[in-house]
């Protein structure tokens, strides 16, 4: 899910509205043609400041609004960098402020973004904003040049700019701050303005610290859990632990006797089989003066839960279901050539089956939200990935029109796809509506691990047919899995496979006979988007199986990949991340990591090299790793290298951080993380049974190499994840001969080494 999929139409670019603030600053915002939060807004609309797109102040400071949620991917820095580049100001003179949700409503027209798409999902923030923000910056720069030309009574062609200063070719100078009064009287030209060439960039492509780095390390950054609003009460919820379960009975008398507890209310959840459009599960909310009192009150509840329709569901039953499904036939979603004929005539056929488990998002900051529901309006302050979705969730449970729902974004302590859904915001809205109080909802770590939209689970069966020369002539990937579209309101039965398989992924068009097939696993556990959704599974199985093919045929794994990529070509790519897939760009990142790791060199006994490469959401990434497997089955990292091509780098420091963070996330998940089910409920409760990678287990250093490019940029938040796991398991095989096909790997590796 990404910002483009929201129900907010984006029309052609609107020109800037130019005005002066009461303090004498020049305010640049998109020209409003719709009425929400404007002077003619309907009576009762919430007080929502217009927000700032660009504000040039008399002291020559420039304030730029950050439109997208900051979930750790760095867009609060990188998006303003794009605008500042074209505005031609010095980055040191820029301040950044988080914009609230900006949606304009007009009768008879669909809702429309005010500042452009506001979402953090699918690595879309930068590609969605690249053209628009550059043009806004260019318009601001033109205004400064035109204002200077007016002051100096010269042609605008005689005026240039440099770091927030207008310059006349004969030596006159004026800071932008000196020109704002004149600029406010000017009319922008109707046609789009010329943009800088990459050779002229002085901000874009240069490493910059995140704008709120100091606030983060000093504790001043405002996360959702830091929100304190006057009059707010704290709510915690005891949720039914069973998928689609309910309350059979409860006694809240002891809870109400806890000092500070104000109310206990039932929060109804969706009925079995209904789309999940608001909160995830039925629960009982304890509302109190403070978090401790609310939690003690919840502990005092006496609840008997009804198990619901999935009481027999377990990890073992789902594995058995996959095995049964793969023995039959499923839906073929790509079918090039004739695989059956290729298999029948093959000199050799290689097969393998892989398992990818459910996993939790487990963000550092558990879910939370402040919501104040009033008779005809609501206000939300929360860590969200999709603020528009938060408004829809509140509307769904309160009946309040979205134009009267104000959404403010805090910094987010980790999203990874979990906060694409706003069930926790809906919960806070329900409790506020039921109690009449503004509510600060708090989840615990146990709540977060047991009530999630988990990454889908599945078994992959891969087959390769090879001719006499060892060339791959046929390929199948058959996947039996749950779908993340489970119980989505807009999901169509014949499209449930789409988020689990990307038919245009490698090796599509590179193998003459290729079949991709999906079989649906029925399960009651909620599912959703998890960082780099299906790519985390598909890259693992495809890149691992390539190594299996290479070793079975005594070929070098790098040489096999390069041979399959063939000459540099560009193919149509119909899924998210398209419209094109370029084999040359994938080849470049693969060759870069091979070169940097010293591919092919001889290593001591017990050490091995592995690599993997993948195309994810418009970006190309590869990993190479050197690992050691000890005699007791423990793993040591000697070197981890990754390379990435995301087009024009906006903030290289941000790209490096995302690739390093993605690598750690990918290794942590592959190493020891799995969400398991027994009796229709999740077993994991805290870090004791969901052990994230510890510092001592992680690589000491992750080397990141950014491929230079002038191609329009893609995002980078998800590119570091998919190739980490297969590069790791391929390196483990090279080190000790143990092929790990099932995730997570830690206990399997130990057991395999013990038996060896």
DSSP state of 41: P
Is residue 130 within 8 A of residue 82, CB to CB? The reply is yes
Q: What is the pLDDT of residue 756?
A: 82
Closest CA to 619 of 166, 157, 126, 199: 126
Is residue 2 within 8 A of residue 529, CB to CB? The reply is no
Closest CA to 49 of 33, 67, 63, 36: 36
The answer on pLDDT for 254 being more than 90 is yes
Q: Render pLDDT for 418-456 as a digit per residue (tens, 0 to 9).
A: 999 999 999 999 999 999 999 999 999 999 999 999 999
The answer on pLDDT for 35 being more than 50 is no
Is residue 266 within 8 A of residue 318, CB to CB? The reply is no
DSSP string, 554-621: T--HHHHHHHHH-S--EEE--STT-SEEEHHHHHHHHHHHHHHHTTT----TTEEEEEEEEEETTEEE
Overall average pLDDT of the 742-749 stretch:
97
CA distance 301 to 137: 56
- Boundaries of every domain in the chain: 3-210, 224-309+361-450, 531-756
Tokens for 527, please give them.
């599912």
User: Phi/psi class of residue 69: alpha, beta or left (left: φ > 0; alpha: ψ in -120 to 50)?
Assistant: beta
Q: What is the pLDDT of residue 31?
A: 61
Q: Which CATH number fits domain 531-756: 3.30.70.1150, 3.30.365.10, 3.40.50.2000, 3.30.70.1560?
A: 3.30.365.10
Structurally, at CATH architecture level, domain 3-210 sits in 2-Layer Sandwich (3.30)
The more confident residue out of 558 and 12 is 558
Task: Quickly count: other Cβ atoms within 10 Å of residue 53's Cβ.
Answer: 24
Tokens for 219, please give them.
């504790």
Tokens for 457, please give them.
């689970």
Assign 248 a pLDDT band (cuts: 50, 70, 90). very high
Write a three-state SS string for 508-540.
CCCCCEEEEEEEECCCCCCECCCCCCCHHHHHH
3-state DSSP call for residue 251?
strand
Q: What is the pLDDT of residue 8?
A: 38
The per-residue pLDDT of the chain, averaged, comes to 93
Is residue 297 within 8 A of residue 258, CB to CB? The reply is yes
The answer on pLDDT for 651 being more than 90 is yes
The answer on pLDDT for 36 being more than 80 is no
CATH topology of domain 224-309+361-450: Aldehyde Oxidoreductase; domain 4 (3.30.365)
Q: What is the pLDDT of residue 46?
A: 37
The more confident residue out of 113 and 15 is 113
Q: What percent helix, strand, coil does the chain show, rounded to 5? A: 30, 25, 45
Is residue 597 within 8 A of residue 626, CB to CB? The reply is yes
Assign 15 a pLDDT band (cuts: 50, 70, 90). low
Closest CA to 616 of 546, 691, 540, 692: 540
CA distances from 684 to 372, 374, 423, 621, 677 (A): 32, 37, 20, 32, 9
Q: What percent of the chain has pLDDT over 70?
A: 95
Task: Quickly count: other Cβ atoms within 10 Å of residue 567's Cβ.
Answer: 7
Overall average pLDDT of the 577-583 stretch:
97
3-state DSSP call for residue 228?
coil
Assign 72 a pLDDT band (cuts: 50, 70, 90). very high
DSSP E strands, 107-245 = 109-113, 159-162, 165-168, 173-175, 233-239
The more confident residue out of 667 and 35 is 667
The residue assigned the tokens 């260019």 is 138
The residue assigned the tokens 């999203």 is 415
Q: What is the pLDDT of residue 53?
A: 82
Half-sphere exposure of 686 (CA within 13 A, CB side): 5
Strand partners, 354: 460
Overall average pLDDT of the 134-157 stretch:
95
Cis peptide bond prior to 744, omega within 30° of 0: yes
Kindly report which listed range (2-16, 106-120, 194-208, 452-466) carries the lowest average pLDDT score: 2-16
Burial 111-142 (b: 16+ CB within 10 A, else e): bbbbbbbbbbbbbbbbbbbbebbbbbbbbbbb
CA distance 56 to 58: 7
Packed helices 652-672 and 535-552: angle between N→C axes, nearest 10 degrees:
70
Closest CA to 221 of 45, 72, 439, 40: 72
Q: Render pLDDT for 345-362 as a digit per residue (tens, 0 to 9).
A: 999 999 999 999 999 999
Strand partners, 233: 439
Q: What is the pLDDT of residue 20?
A: 85
CA distance 251 to 686: 27
Q: Render pLDDT for 684-724 as a digit per residue (tens, 0 to 9).
A: 999 999 999 999 999 999 999 999 999 999 999 999 999 99
The answer on pLDDT for 292 being more than 90 is yes
CA distance 539 to 289: 48
| Identical topology for domains 3-210 and 531-756 | yes
Q: Render pLDDT for 168-190 as a digit per residue (tens, 0 to 9).
A: 999 999 999 999 999 999 988 88
pTM of the predicted model as reported, rounded to 2 decimal places: 0.94
Burial 91-109 (b: 16+ CB within 10 A, else e): bebbebebbbbbbbbeeee
Backbone angles phi, psi at 9, to 5 degrees: -75, 140
The answer on pLDDT for 26 being more than 80 is yes
Overall average pLDDT of the 482-509 stretch:
96
Cis peptide bond prior to 507, omega within 30° of 0: yes
CA distance 520 to 458: 9
Closest CA to 497 of 387, 719, 332, 661: 332
Kindly report which listed range (5-19, 323-337, 523-537) carries the lowest average pLDDT score: 5-19
Assign 47 a pLDDT band (cuts: 50, 70, 90). very low
The answer on pLDDT for 84 being more than 90 is yes
Task: Quickly count: other Cβ atoms within 10 Å of residue 709's Cβ.
Answer: 17
Q: Render pLDDT for 207-239 as a digit per residue (tens, 0 to 9).
A: 999 999 999 999 999 999 999 999 999 999 999
Q: What is the pLDDT of residue 37?
A: 28
């Amino acid at each position: 899910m990404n910002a483009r999929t929201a129900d907010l139409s984006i029309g052609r670019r609107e020109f800037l509205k130019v005005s002066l603030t009461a303090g004498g600053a020049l305010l640049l915002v998109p020209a409003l043609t719709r009425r929400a939060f404007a002077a003619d807004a309907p009576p009762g609309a919430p007080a929502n400041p217009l927000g700032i797109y660009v504000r040039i102040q008399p002291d020559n400071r420039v304030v730029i609004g950050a439109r997208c949620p900051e979930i750790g991917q760095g867009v609060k820095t990188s998006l303003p960098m794009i605008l500042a580049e074209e505005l031609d100001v010095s980055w040191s003179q820029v301040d950044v402020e988080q914009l609230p949700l900006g949606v304009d409503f007009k009768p008879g027209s669909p809702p429309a973004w005010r500042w452009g798409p506001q979402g953090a999902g699918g690595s879309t923030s930068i590609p969605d904003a690249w053209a628009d923000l550059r043009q806004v910056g260019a318009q601001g720069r033109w205004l400064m040049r035109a204002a200077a030309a007016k002051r100096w009574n010269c042609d605008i062609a005689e005026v240039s700019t440099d770091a927030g200063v207008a310059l006349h070719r004969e030596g006159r100078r004026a800071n932008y701050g000196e020109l704002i009064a004149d600029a406010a009287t000017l009319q922008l030209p109707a046609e789009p303005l010329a943009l800088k060439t990459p050779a002229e960039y002085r901000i874009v492509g240069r490493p910059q610290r995140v704008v709120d780095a100091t606030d983060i390390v000093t504790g001043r950054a405002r996360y959702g859990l830091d929100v304190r609003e006057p009059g707010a009460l704290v709510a915690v919820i005891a949720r039914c632990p069973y998928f689609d379960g309910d309350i059979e009975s409860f006694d809240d008398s002891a809870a109400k006797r806890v000092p500070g507890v104000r109310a206990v209310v039932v929060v109804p959840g969706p009925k079995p089989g209904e789309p999940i459009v608001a909160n995830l599960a039925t629960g009982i909310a304890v509302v109190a003066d403070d978090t401790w009192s609310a939690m003690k009150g919840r502990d005092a509840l006496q609840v008997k839960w009804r198990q619901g329709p999935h009481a027999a569901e377990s990890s073992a039953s789902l594995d058995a279901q996959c095995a049964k499904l793969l023995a039959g036939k499923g839906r073929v979603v790509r079918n090039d050539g004739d695989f059956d004929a290729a298999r029948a005539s093959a000199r050799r056929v290689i097969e393998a089956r892989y398992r990818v488990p459910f996993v939790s998002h487990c963000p550092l900051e558990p879910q939370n939200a402040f919501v104040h529901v009033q008779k005809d309006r609501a206000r939300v302050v929360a860590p969200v990935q999709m603020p528009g979705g938060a408004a829809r969730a509140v509307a769904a449970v309160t009946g309040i029109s979205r134009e009267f729902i104000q959404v403010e974004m805090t910094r987010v302590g980790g999203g990874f796809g979990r906060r694409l859904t706003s069930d926790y915001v809906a919960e806070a809205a329900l409790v506020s509506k039921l109690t009449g109080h503004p509510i600060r909802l708090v989840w615990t770590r146990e709540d977060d691990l047991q009530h999630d939209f988990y990454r889908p689970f599945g078994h992959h069966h891969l087959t390769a047919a090879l001719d006499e020369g060892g060339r791959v002539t046929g390929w199948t990937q058959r996947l039996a899995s749950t779908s993340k579209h489970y119980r989505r309101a807009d999901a169509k039965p014949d499209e449930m496979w789409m988020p689990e398989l990307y038919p245009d992924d490698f090796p599509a068009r590179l193998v003459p006979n290729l079949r991709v097939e999906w079989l649906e696993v029925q399960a009651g556990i909620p599912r959703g988007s998890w960082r780099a959704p299906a790519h985390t599974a598909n890259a693992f199985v495809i890149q691992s199986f390539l190594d299996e093919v290479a070793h079975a045929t005594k070929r070098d794994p790098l040489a096999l990949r390069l041979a399959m990529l063939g000459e540099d070509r560009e193919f149509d790519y119909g899924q998210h991340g398209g419209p094109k897939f370029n084999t040359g760009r994938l080849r470049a990142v693969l060759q870069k990591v091979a070169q940097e790791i010293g591919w092919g060199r001889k290593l001591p006994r017990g050490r091995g090299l592995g690599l993997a490469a993948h195309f994810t959401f418009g970006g190309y990434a590869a990993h190479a790793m050197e690992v050691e497997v000890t005699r007791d089955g423990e793993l040591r990292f000697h070197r981890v290298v990754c390379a990435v091509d995301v087009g024009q780098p906006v903030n290289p420091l941000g790209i490096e951080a995302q690739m390093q963070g993605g690598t750690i996330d990918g290794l942590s998940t592959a190493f020891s993380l799995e969400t398991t089910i027994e009796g229709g409920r999740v077993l994991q409760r805290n870090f004791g049974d969901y052990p994230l990678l510890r510092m001592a287990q992680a690589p000491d250093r992750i080397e990141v190499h950014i491929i230079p490019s002038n191609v329009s940029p893609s995002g980078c938040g998800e590119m570091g994840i998919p190739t980490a796991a297969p590069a790791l398991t391929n390196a483990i095989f090279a080190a000790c001969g143990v092929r790990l096909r099932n995730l997570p790997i830690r206990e399997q590796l130990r057991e395999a080494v013990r038996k060896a």
